A and B are shown apart, each in its own frame.
Chain A
Amino acid sequence: METYAQLVPLVVLIPLVGMLINVFWGARLGGRWPGIIGSTAAILAFIVSGLLYFYLIGNDYRAVVVNPPFLNAWISIPSGDMFIPWQMRVDTLSVTMMLVVTGVGSLIHIYAIGYMLGDSRYARFFAYLNLFLVFMLVLVTGNNFLMMFVGWEGVGLCSYLLIGFWFDKARGEGWKNSNAARKAMIVNRIGDFGLLMGIFLIFWTFGTLDYFTPGEIANPHLAEELALEAEHAAEAEAAAVEGEAAPEGEQAAEGEVVAEAAVIEGEAAPEGEQAVEGEGVAEAAVIEGEEGHGGEAAVVYTNNDHIPTEMLGVFGKTERLLEEGGHIVNFGPFSLPFETVLVLITLFMLVGATGKSAQIPLFIWLPDAMAGPTPVSALIHAATMVTAGVYMMVRSNVFYYNADLTSLIVTLVGAGTALVAGFIAIGQWDIKRVLAYSTISQLGFMVAAVGIGAYSAAMFHLVTHAFFKALLFLSSGSVIHGMEHGHHHVHEHGHGHHDDTPFDPQDMRNMGGLRRKMPVTYRVYLIGTLALAGIFPFAGFWSKDEILADSWLVGLFDNNVGGYIALGLLLLAAFFTAFYMWRQMEMVFYGQPRTEAAEHAQESGPVMTWPLVGLAILSVFGGFMNTPENVLGLDGIFGAHRFTYFLEHSVVHAHAAEFQPVIALGALALALFAFFAARTIYGAGHALVRGSRDPLAVRPETSPIWRLAHARLYWDETYFRLFENPFNRTAKFLADTLDWAFWHDYFHNTVLRNGFDALGQFLSKPVDLGLIDGIVNGIGRLARWLAGRLRGVQTGYVRTYAVTVLLGVVLVIVILLLPLFTQAGGG
């Protein structure tokens, strides 16, 4: 088990191999093989992640930094001060992300085998998906910000490729798709710029980009605490058992008994779990403290005090510098206090997060990103990639914890996004677009949780959201599939009139009554809805409630106004969440079929429905991994705050929130009321057909709400006026004048043709003209002839020139480096 951690490079390599196979042989294999290969790679990566999890369980959650055999000195300038190794980190946070990415990813891969079948670029699709896994896993396993950035850019690339995957669809759809891809790319560039600035600033301030150096303990407070507790536990045990020297090996098994004993002694009550966790550490601590108390292991440190400041990673260094206080960062012409620099770093990183995780003001790309195939929406744009910003901020919790101003801004951004996106979602007709805004809204919940310091709640919601949002997206894909099937059915059998209006299988107005047509999809969709709306006891209830409870506690006990703001906005957002989800249920599954396509919709095949069932199970039970204490005795069955205690080992400032019955019941009541409202408005008798107005729009008192929500609060239009339009005018000039008139008309028509003529001459003349001619006619003629030929190379074509320069570069480099090689070979 010790060596499991060394497997972590595999988690990246396996999908890479899968991708390569699909790139080179995928199309030739044909059939479902590319999908099977891609899914196998994802599943194997999941198994490796699972092994890493067991490694952590078996080794007191001790983080390990692995240097892959290659790439050790990834970026280093020997005489400069730059050394950035390619290190992979196995700790509780990265393993959590790995499990989510590969676990949910595997299910989505399997689903895609069925969903994408028949697509002309089937193999390419799975190559892209596996490439995405590669980059996403680089992002989460890296031990420094630069690796994170590599992954960050890589997943952005894959996102771009996959959003525009159907760039060649007919009837202008292809244009829309590739435009959506471009939008995502461009908007993300803004965020990436912010992240890059943050990384530069981190490097300038700390001189390193490592999170933690190997051997450093991420959370020394916890380690010390656990060591102390375990020591007490050992003593208590000795007292309790009275003289019966317990064999060392049994200590672990008796953790619970020990804990009780500790309670009796009036110590802070450690949970049974924790006592067991701390045990290994305790032994070492004992050696340090009292000698001869048994034990044989080498010294294990419980804090980082023995590591000099310059050897610490950025987070350890931050804590150390803040402890010492009064540090100043020098920027050449000016200098700033260390605390201010932290605020700047975190703000820059926040800009990065708003791009990748689709927060205000950069969220506009995500709804359009739904142009990609549905598995892509589920995997990249709901479950994993878009949570990278949250992961980054949780990873940097030390920064955020110590930057109050940024935390407040993060809270406002997150809670504001949650509300705005939730509001917009109630005014959409496209089934995937609703889910897209819902995703933005839920990401807002996570970001707001980071803002109020509830890092473990943010991660918890990230995980459960990955379950139920992937479920919802895949189910919606199943619905779309079924609708398309129904549409084809109608066309083939030719009943009904033939209308020319393009059929949109994603428009919820075309659906209705699918409950009977697609029973499995209906059930899992219902589960996803309940989980997302936060209905007890589904996964979303627990994670959403922890965020709400935490913001309440933060507001109440820390006098943090951000907590109250978050609570208010998020409750409102939760109301909208439940409302638009039930609206969707009513429009899609209940009532009567509103089109013939819906009439003839069919349930999808098992390769698509089984992953749905898997995700549905996770959505039901996923919340129990982190049940709070004292709720209906559930903590007795599942343990209390297990996920938080798990994360605590790598997230320094993670903490568990107490259960707040008032908040929980309030939120639950709110959600149920929203369900009721949606049922009343959209329920039977208010069927919405294409062309008719939404019930919300019909009522005069709610019509302004509808108008705003349906127009997406005019957000895109504002951006268009402010940024895009002026930019477009410039671009139009460049395109019309430079590109078209100059490049196409001039270069292609004039230069290219002449270039070919000249080339043709150059190729034919030397053959026509014998060499003898030249010699006979003397050296002057020869020179003249040569000159004429060389002149022929002068095509006037810029590309030719550029290639010549390139050849020249190769020539220069080869000549320069040749002696070096001969020297190396000879000596």
Chain B
Amino acid sequence: MLFEVPSLESLNLGVTLPAVSLAFGVCVLLLADLLLVPKDRKEITAWLAVAGVAVSFVLNLFTFNNTDNEAFLGMFVADSFTGFMNIVILLTAFLGILLSKDYLKRAGIERGEYYTLMLMSAAGMMFMASANDLVVVFIALELLSIPLYVLAAFRVPDVKSEESGMKYFILGAFSSAFFVYGAALVYGATGTTSLPAIFNAVGTLAESGGSSAFLLLAGAGLILVGLGFKVAVVPFHMWTPDVYEGAPTPVTAFMSVGAKAGGFAALLRIMAMSLPAFTLADGQTFAAWQQTFWIIAALTLILGNLVAIAQSNIKRMLAYSSIAHAGYILMAVAASGTIGLTDEATRAALIYLLAYMFTNLGAFGVALAVERDDGSGTNLNDFVGLAKNRPGLALMMAVFMLSLTGIPLTGGFIGKWFVFKATLDAGLVALAIIGVLTSVVSAFYYVRVIVNMYLRDGEAETPGETQMVNWAVYIAGAGTLIMGIFPFLVTGLSDLVTVAASVVR
């Protein structure tokens, strides 16, 4: 009575190809691992996984910026925003695979389902970037998360790894519940779960006020909680250091970028695209949720950067650093709440994500090269003397650290530039000042790594074979530097992204 039976054509499956092909690739990989790949040659699965990512990447380029871009009756959308996001996600997956290959062998956990899980999660992230309906967002959120829970505990019977997976799972389930509750409240307020329809419904709600506005605000808040957990913003960040430290390092690298990309994709879709017009009074120029994001972003920046100083473990330090960077991206999300600034702020967030992707994966790559087979060697002091021993790696690490700080000629600077600009344009001056100040603070702990590598005497050892890791590090370094030196390459791409117009009507 409520639905009509959809025809196959109306589903418009073509635009879903990039994400669906990756999911399909996961199935192929799973079967191949089970039936074809011999036990002692599990590295083949890595190359199969790379092939799956490559196919999806090419398909994504083809469907990037489609005109007829809605599938599954509007529940799935593949616009330029999706296209850009997919590039970030697929590069993450690609670098993640490269980082994993040697590590798995060294740690003795070379099992075929590793890449299956990783790509499954990547497929979830892609669905997240394409979700145009709260229900799909939720499904994608779970598809993204559940493989990550498993991956975090992949280094069984290592107790730390098991703890990490368990913690991530329990708290992740907790936060998912908040997301669902929020989605239910939004549905209660607007009567729909479709994001464009929510956008249209919001205009009338704002005028009427009353209980619906109440529901919508509470719903938006709970959605922020659910997704904020995934992207690790304060105060939903507590799991991050423990999980990052315990999980196998390549998994940490993958999830520190991938889960963030997925989470911010959904956050931007829901907040910047569905609810930007949600103001509480006539003539207000910013969305009702902006202030909350402002506060959360400020808290995240301050706490993430301050606590990172006190860390002595590189993985924990990078964990807090990733919290801090979530804060910078959240600045852009907050800025998108100012009316008329949605596009600019969204582009800033995307550029920041791309730069962060290269830089962070690279930094984890170097950390991986220094880590020993048994999982030790992740202390900051283990970097002492790396410049003498492995000058190439040390140079790259220096680049990454500078990029994370936001020094010019690196991708990190470009990202920060756009984010701060968007924040200032949005009129959030205080937030921009906090951002700049915390960047200065962050220099303290990033530079300490460089000091350890170059200025302190010692012998750093880089155990084991790290060939693939080297490749990944150099690719990431190249990406970081190219973004920093030729920013127009990326901004040209991001300028295609016009979210505000693509969703309205």
Contact = CB atoms under 8 A, between A and B. Distances in A.
Given A79-B201, A805-B174, A816-B221, A800 B238 contact: yes
A386 B192 CA distance: 40
Contacts of A80: 187, 191
B475 interface: no
B162 A794 contact: no
Nearest to B242: A796
A793 B242 CA distance: 12
Interface in A775-811: 780, 783-784, 786-788, 790-791, 793-794, 796, 798, 800-802, 804-805, 807-809, 811
A79 B190 contact: yes
B191 A813 contact: no
B241 interface: yes
A816 B220 contact: yes
Contacts of A820: 209, 213-214, 217, 280
A78 B1 contact: no
Interface string B197-222: 00001000000010011100110111
Contacts of A771: none
A243 interface: no
A743 to B, nearest CB: 9
Given A80-B191, A805-B238, A790 B306 contact: yes
A527 to B, nearest CB: 54
A742 interface: yes
Contacts of B191: 77-80
A816 B188 CA distance: 17
Nearest to B217: A816
B238 A794 contact: yes
Contacts of B238: 793-794, 800-801, 804-805
B201 A794 contact: no
Interface stretch (B16-24, B164-172, B351-359, B395-403): B164-172
Interface in B289-346: 289, 291-292, 295-296, 303, 306-311
B171 A805 contact: yes
A791 B288 CA distance: 33
Nearest to A742: B166
B235 A819 contact: no
Q: Interface majority SS on B: helix, strand, loop or mixed? A: helix
B433 interface: no
A791 B311 contact: yes
The size class of the interface chain B forms with chain A is 35 or more
A823 interface: yes
A329 interface: yes
B34 interface: no
Nearest to A823: B280
A79 B194 CA distance: 14
A606 interface: no
B188 A77 contact: yes
B213 A780 contact: no
Contacts of A813: 218, 221-222
Contacts of A796: 242
Given A77-B187, A820-B217, A805 B306 contact: no
Interface residues of A, number: 45
A815 B292 contact: yes
B163 A746 contact: yes
Contact of A812 (B5, B280, B292, B310): B292
A385 B93 CA distance: 57
Contacts of A78: 191, 212
A794 B217 contact: no
B229 interface: yes
A536 B283 CA distance: 83
A240 to B, nearest CB: 55
B36 interface: no
A114 interface: no
Contact of B225 (A790, A812, A817): A812
Contacts of B170: 798, 802
B457 to A, nearest CB: 24
Interface in A116-135: none
B239 interface: yes
Nearest to B212: A78
A805 B444 contact: no
B126 to A, nearest CB: 26
A207 interface: yes
Given A787-B306, A807-B235, A817-B214, A798 B201 contact: no
Contacts of B209: 820, 823
Contact of B5 (A332, A746, A804): A332
Contacts of B190: 79
B268 to A, nearest CB: 18
Contacts of A816: 217-218, 220-221, 288-289, 292
A804 B240 CA distance: 13
B235 A742 contact: no
A793 B237 CA distance: 12
Query: Looking at A780, A798, A812, which has the most chain B CB atoms within 10 Å of its CB?
Result: A812
A823 to B, nearest CB: 6
Contacts of B212: 78
Interface string A74-94: 000111110000000000000
A204 interface: yes
B307 A791 contact: yes
A805 B291 contact: no
A750 B239 CA distance: 17
Contacts of A332: 2-3, 5
A381 B262 CA distance: 52
A823 B281 CA distance: 9
Nearest to A332: B3
A702 interface: no
Contacts of B307: 787, 790-791, 794
A805 B225 contact: yes
A330 B218 CA distance: 34
B462 interface: no
B178 interface: yes
Contacts of B251: none
Contacts of B166: 738, 742
A783 B438 CA distance: 11
Nearest to A331: B3
B235 A817 contact: no
Contacts of A823: 209, 280-281
Contacts of B234: 808
A482 to B, nearest CB: 52
A266 interface: no
Nearest to A808: B235
B308 A787 contact: yes
B241 A794 contact: yes
A333 interface: yes
Contacts of B295: 815
A787 B310 contact: yes
A783 B309 contact: yes
A392 B289 CA distance: 47
Nearest to A805: B236
Nearest to A819: B280
Interface string A289-324: 000000000000000000000000000000000000
Interface in A730-760: 738, 742, 746
A163 to B, nearest CB: 30
A185 to B, nearest CB: 22
B5 A817 contact: no
B291 to A, nearest CB: 6
8 tightest A-B contacts by CB?
A79-B191, A808-B235, A787-B310, A801-B238, A80-B191, A787-B309, A332-B3, A812-B221
Given A79-B191, A329-B1, A809-B178, 11 more contacts: A205-B1, A207-B1, A330-B5, A790-B307, A794-B241, A794-B242, A794-B307, A805-B235, A805-B236, A812-B224, A819-B291
26 contacts: A77-B187, A80-B187, A330-B1, A330-B2, A332-B3, A742-B162, A783-B306, A783-B444, A786-B306, A788-B310, A790-B303, A790-B306, A794-B238, A801-B238, A805-B171, A808-B225, A808-B234, A809-B178, A809-B221, A812-B292, A813-B222, A816-B217, A816-B218, A816-B288, A816-B289, A820-B213
